[in-house]
């Protein structure tokens, strides 16, 4: 009975989509030759495609609902599988150790392409963790994060180009400069809230990019800076393949350090102040937290990581130009944080790996690659709006017999 009804609804949906896609999918005009091509076959594909898609989505939704209705208990358990896994320190270290072993062995059983792509993914893990401090923990929506990334990259490129400074010397300088820019941005926007903050940060990101693009004497403009040296290993010049592997290990190291620091931050006084700030600014101030200082520290710390990764980025590609620092880049990093589940470290790592590796592995779809990427982004948000691994809030429940226990 309900199947028939679903079929009817599916039919209606597919008819709607045929109507919707009619001008763009069916008609193709050549305004010069003045000919119209009617591609009726496309209408058929759309009809069949959306009908099947509708049935699939309905089926998935029904199953999800059915499971939610009958097995709430089990479901809740499953949800926190990873959380339970890492709740016990032994399991956590075991899992971490295993992952680390896989990560270290990775370059040996894969091509340099795979290693290169994985390095990019790791860079985004760290970027995601950095932005997570600003957006996930402190709750400040930043759409211009890529500006700090650009500051880091250009500081290495320019210092290397003009003064021949090496990678390791510039690493702290790049991070520091980015942090200073973070504070510069932070000051004027202290008063802004929510989406106003978002647009100002977006504007800031664009301003940085436009200056890099137009101030040719300083940044060489759109033609970019080439021949940036790769990081050296105690003065050793590495060949390309070795350099790829070396940067990969560097990124693993950076990631571990970042995870450690961010993890410690989360539990620190500062981290708790950020979370309080995110939840309720007024209550937070009432508790005696210096709002100004807390926000500025969040901005500058977030920017610091972006600066560091910017330096790595310049060293890895050996060429940079402003085209790499567009708004879309900020949007992707933000998507990593949100998809990971705001504030959750494991979530961010997982989301970065998915979002960065996905377009690479979707290359098999050739021209449909970005179409699929957009659709997957929407689908992931629709099916997991809280993120892949939602951050659990620590709640303490006092029970009479047991000592205070953590519960999700």
Using CB under 8 A as the binding rule, the residues of this chain from 311 to 370 that contact another protein are 313, 316-321, 323-324, 327, 331, 334-335, 338-339, 342, 360-361, 363-364, 366-370
94 is a contact residue toward another protein (CB under 8 A) = no
CB proximity list for 313: less than 8 A, separation 6 or greater: 123, 149, 152, 153, 320, 324
Q: Are 48 and 77 in contact (CB under 8 A)?
A: no
Give the CA distances from residue 60 to residues 1, 6, 66, 380, 383, in Å, rounded to whole numbers and listed in that order.
Answer: 19, 13, 10, 13, 10
Phi and psi of 35, rounded to 5°? -125, 150
How many chain residues are in contact with another protein, going by CB under 8 A?
100
Task: Please pick, from the candidates 3, 4, 36, 397, the single residue that binds another protein as defined by CB under 8 A.
Answer: 36
- Looking at the Cβ atoms of 59 and 196, the one nearer to another protein is 196
Task: Please pick, from the candidates 1, 3, 24, 397, the single residue that binds another protein as defined by CB under 8 A.
Answer: 24
- Looking at the Cβ atoms of 53 and 261, the one nearer to another protein is 53
- Looking at the Cβ atoms of 367 and 401, the one nearer to another protein is 367
- Looking at the Cβ atoms of 96 and 188, the one nearer to another protein is 188
Site for another protein in 263-322 (CB under 8 A): 282, 313, 316-321
DSSP 208: H
Task: Please pick, from the candidates 165, 211, 261, 392, the single residue that binds another protein as defined by CB under 8 A.
Answer: 211
Considering only the stretches 4-12, 93-101, 170-178, 200-208, report the one whose residues sit in contact with another protein under the rule CB under 8 A.
200-208
Phi and psi of 233, rounded to 5°? -110, 95
Work out the number of other CB atoms within 10 angstroms of the CB of residue 45: 13
Following DSSP, what letter does each residue of 102-114 receive, concatenated? HHHHGGGGS-HHH
Kindly state the smallest distance separating residue 293's Cβ from another protein, in Å: 19
Site for another protein in 365-404 (CB under 8 A): 366-371, 373-378, 381-382, 385-387
79 is a contact residue toward another protein (CB under 8 A) = no
- Looking at the Cβ atoms of 109 and 396, the one nearer to another protein is 109
- Looking at the Cβ atoms of 196 and 260, the one nearer to another protein is 196
Following DSSP, what letter does each residue of 219-245 receive, concatenated? H-GGG-B--PPPPPBTTBPP-HHHHHH
Determine the Cα–Cα distance for residues 341 and 408; give it in Å rounded to an integer: 15
Task: Please pick, from the candidates 8, 9, 16, 70, the single residue that binds another protein as defined by CB under 8 A.
Answer: 16
- Looking at the Cβ atoms of 157 and 259, the one nearer to another protein is 157
Q: Are 212 and 219 in contact (CB under 8 A)?
A: yes
Give the CA distances from residue 231 to residues 25, 119, 164, 253, 320, in Å, rounded to whole numbers and listed in that order.
Answer: 50, 14, 12, 14, 15
Task: Please pick, from the candidates 5, 90, 162, 191, the single residue that binds another protein as defined by CB under 8 A.
Answer: 191
Dmax (CA) of the chain: 85
- Looking at the Cβ atoms of 363 and 402, the one nearer to another protein is 363
247 is a contact residue toward another protein (CB under 8 A) = no
29 is a contact residue toward another protein (CB under 8 A) = yes
Considering only the stretches 83-91, 173-181, 223-231, 304-312, report the one whose residues sit in contact with another protein under the rule CB under 8 A.
223-231
Task: Please pick, from the candidates 199, 253, 256, 257, the single residue that binds another protein as defined by CB under 8 A.
Answer: 199
Determine the Cα–Cα distance for residues 131 and 141; give it in Å rounded to an integer: 9
H/E element, 35: strand 35-38
Kindly state the smallest distance separating residue 387's Cβ from another protein, in Å: 8
Determine the Cα–Cα distance for residues 13 and 51; give it in Å rounded to an integer: 7
Site for another protein in 107-126 (CB under 8 A): 110-114, 116-117, 120
34 is a contact residue toward another protein (CB under 8 A) = yes
Considering only the stretches 33-41, 159-167, 264-272, 397-405, report the one whose residues sit in contact with another protein under the rule CB under 8 A.
33-41
Site for another protein in 224-243 (CB under 8 A): 224, 226-227, 239-241
Give the CA distances from residue 66 to residues 37, 61, 71, 75, 396, in Å, rounded to whole numbers and listed in that order.
Answer: 47, 8, 8, 11, 32
Task: Please pick, from the candidates 30, 73, 217, 401, the single residue that binds another protein as defined by CB under 8 A.
Answer: 30
Work out the number of other CB atoms within 10 angstroms of the CB of residue 365: 13
Q: What is the torsional sign of CA 49, 383, 280, 296?
A: negative
């Amino acid at each position: 009975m309900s199947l028939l009804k679903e079929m009817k609804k599916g039919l209606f949906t597919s008819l709607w989509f045929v109507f919707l896609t009619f001008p763009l999918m069916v008609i193709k005009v050549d305004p010069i030759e003045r000919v119209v091509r009617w591609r009726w076959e496309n209408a058929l594909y759309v009809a069949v495609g959306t009908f099947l898609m509708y049935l699939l989505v309905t089926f998935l939704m029904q199953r999800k609902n059915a499971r939610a209705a009958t097995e709430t208990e089990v479901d809740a358990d499953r949800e926190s599988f990873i959380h339970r896994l890492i709740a016990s320190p032994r399991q956590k270290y075991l899992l971490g150790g295993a992952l680390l072993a896989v990560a270290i062995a990775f370059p040996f059983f894969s091509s340099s392409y795979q290693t290169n792509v994985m390095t990019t993914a790791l860079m985004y893990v760290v970027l995601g963790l950095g932005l997570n401090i600003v957006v996930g923990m402190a709750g400040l929506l930043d759409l211009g994060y890529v500006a700090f990334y650009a500051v880091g990259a250009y500081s290495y490129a320019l210092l290397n180009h003009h003064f021949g400074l090496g990678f390791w010397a510039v690493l702290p300088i790049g991070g520091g400069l980015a942090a200073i820019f973070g504070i510069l941005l932070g000051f004027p926007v202290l008063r802004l809230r929510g989406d106003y903050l978002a647009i100002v940060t977006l504007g800031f990101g664009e301003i940085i990019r436009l200056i890099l693009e137009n101030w040719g004497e300083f940044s060489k403009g759109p033609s970019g800076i080439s021949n940036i040296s790769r990081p050296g290993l105690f003065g050793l010049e590495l060949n390309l393949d070795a350099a790829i592997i070396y940067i990969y290990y560097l990124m693993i190291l950076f990631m571990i350090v970042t995870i450690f620091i961010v993890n410690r931050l989360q539990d620190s006084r500062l981290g708790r102040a950020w979370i309080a700030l995110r939840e309720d600014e007024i209550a937070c101030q009432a508790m005696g937290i210096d709002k100004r200082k807390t926000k500025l520290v969040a901005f500058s710390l977030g920017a610091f990581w972006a600066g560091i990764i910017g330096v790595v980025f310049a060293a890895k590609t050996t060429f940079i130009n402003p085209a790499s620092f567009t708004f879309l880049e900020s949007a992707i990093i933000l998507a990593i944080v949100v998809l990971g589940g705001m504030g959750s470290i494991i979530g961010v790592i997982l989301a970065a790996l998915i979002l960065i590796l996905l377009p690479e592995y979707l290359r098999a779809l050739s021209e449909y690659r970005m179409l699929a990427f957009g659709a997957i982004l929407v689908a992931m948000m629709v099916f997991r709006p809280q993120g892949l691994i939602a951050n659990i809030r620590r709640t303490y429940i006092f029970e009479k017999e047991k000592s205070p226990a953590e519960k999700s």
